[in-house]
Each structure stands twice: as structure tokens, then as C-alpha cells.
Amino acid sequence: MQQIAEWFDGLALGRKASPGIESVLAILRGDTGRASFMSTQDLASRANVNVATVVRAAQFLGFSGWSALKSELRHRYLATLTAEKMLTEHAIPPAGLADSSLTNDARNLARLTESVDPARISRAAAVIAAADRTIVVATGSYAAAGFQLAHAGQWMGRDIELHTASGTALVNRLRMLQPGDCLVSCNLWRASKFVLDIVRVAVQRSIRVVAIADRQTSITDLAEETLLVPSEGVTFMPSTVAAVATVQALLAELSSIDPERTMAALRDTENLWSELDLVDPA
């Protein structure tokens, strides 16, 4: 857990903590996986401190409380695991995996609702609306949210294109972006290294960056706007439900920025569907 230890050091910034806070931090460092599951009371009992000290420990690291720190810590811990280890991390529940998966996704949506800042979504939508062109960079299953953003965005008349692989095609598309255009990074769990390289180049070229992620990373540090979503699943797969829900909210905001433009694009699309006989009549 060297990465997590270094992360804690970066948050502490060399400051001296009280003995109680140090006790809490020692648990988080030494038993990260188990600690990231604990309630405030469980962690307080384990560290032999009161609940208020756990809250102060989280605030010492720059978080509003244990809930916010726990979410960040959990996702950082999961990012250190391989898919095989993630599968063994979760015991098969008595109710079965299907029921557990549905319950988990409902919980992720509840956590998203509690933690999301609507103003951030509005600002991210404004960045995309101001861009002449936007590319969405996503890998693997995380492309689900990216595809929805690109597809529905194009439906509204926005030039938004999804890229799911590295290589010359992505470089060509990046090169065509101009200062003020937008790059959306949609990557959860173990983000591909090339995405960070692409984001760095984009920032150097004055391209505005929006990040959809499940924790603070080097990509979110570079992004102008970051939308953090819970992504923990119940097997080896991270959940993309909260990411898709966030994109839906982002699209809703985007549609309202220039309603006349949106309506004109939707009307034109409907006319083309009718002309090409694409839709099965109800």
C-alpha cells in the first residue's frame, strides 16, 4: 500500500497531528482495506478514540468528515487490486450476486445524490457548451458513460466524439482541437496511463478538461472541472451506474444552456429519422 501511504503523507503536508488523530491514521495506513469498510463508530473503537476524533482526523486530511474520506480511501484501495483480487474481495452474499449487485448500484446512486455538487455539473456542461469540438476519452466498460455523452450530445447538435483507444487516430483528433475546445476523460478504477498523457498534452494546448472519475488522481488534478462518482461493484467489475447517471445530469444541463439550438437539432434529427424510415411506428 505504498501508494496510499504516500497519498496520506501528501495530505498531511508534514503537519503534526494529535495522538488521537495519529491513532486513527495508523489504522487507515496499516489496514486500509478493512478500514475503508468501517463505520465511524467501528473506526473509533478500533483506534480507541471517540467518534469526534475520527471526524477531526478526516478534516485534518482535508475532508468534510469520515464519509467523504472513506469513499476516497475505498476507491484508492480498490485501484490497487487486480480484477482477480477484486473478485475474492467480495464474499458471495446469501441473497445471491444478482440481488446484491442491484442493491449495490442503488446504494451507489444514493451516495452520488448525497455527494454530488450540482454546481459542478452545471460548470462542466458550460465548458462543453462553450467548445466548438469535444472529444471523450474512455477505456473499456467506462466507455458506456462516454458513449451516452457523445451520442446524446450529437443528438442535441453538439460536436462530441467518443474515443476508446490510444494511437494515431486519437492523436489526429486531439491535434484538431483548438484552444477552448474540450476533452472529457471518463475513467474509473485503474485508469489507463495513456489517458493521463493525453490530458497533459491537452492542457498544454489550452484545451479545457472535464474529468469523470471515482477518486482524486493526476488527471483530476489537471482538469478544470471534476465530477467524482462512486464505482464499487460486487465482483471484479466496477459499477458504471453512477457515472452514467452523472452523464445524464450533465446532458440535461447541456440541453438547457441554449434551448433553441437544442430544439432545432432535435427537430432536425426527428425529421431525418422519419425521412430514412428508421423508427418503428408506435
Q: What is the pLDDT of residue 191?
A: 75
pLDDT in tens, 15-32: 888 999 999 999 998 888
Which residues in the chain land under pLDDT 50?
A: none
pLDDT for position 251: 98
What percent of the chain clears pLDDT 90, i.e. is strictly above it? Answer: 62
12's grid cell: 498531511
Helices (H) and strands (E) in the chain — how many of each?
15, 5
Look up cell 491537452; give the residue.
Answer: 202
The pLDDT value recorded for residue 92 is: 66
What φ, ψ does residue 163 adopt, rounded to 5°? -125, 125
Q: Where are the domains of the chain?
A: 2-80, 115-275
CATH of domain 115-275: 3.40.50.10490
The dihedral built from the CA positions of residue 31, 37, 43 and 46, taken in this order, carries a sign that is negative
Q: How far apart are CA 131 and CA 124, in angstroms?
A: 11
CB of 40 within 8 A of CB of 51?
A: yes
The answer to whether the beta carbons of residues 234 and 210 sit under 8 Å apart is: no
Give the pLDDT of residue 142: 83
The conformation of residue 17, written as its DSSP 8-state character, comes to P
The CATH classification of domain 2-80, taken from the options 1.10.10.10, 3.40.50.150, 1.10.1060.10, 1.10.730.10: 1.10.10.10
Sign of the dihedral defined by the CA atoms of residues 42, 47, 53, 56, in that order = negative
Task: Give the predicted TM-score (pTM) of the model.
Answer: 0.82
Cβ neighbour number for residue 182 with a 10 Å cutoff:
26
pLDDT at 18: 92
Please answer whether residues 185 and 195 qualify as being in contact, where contact means their C-beta atoms are separated by less than 8 angstroms.
yes
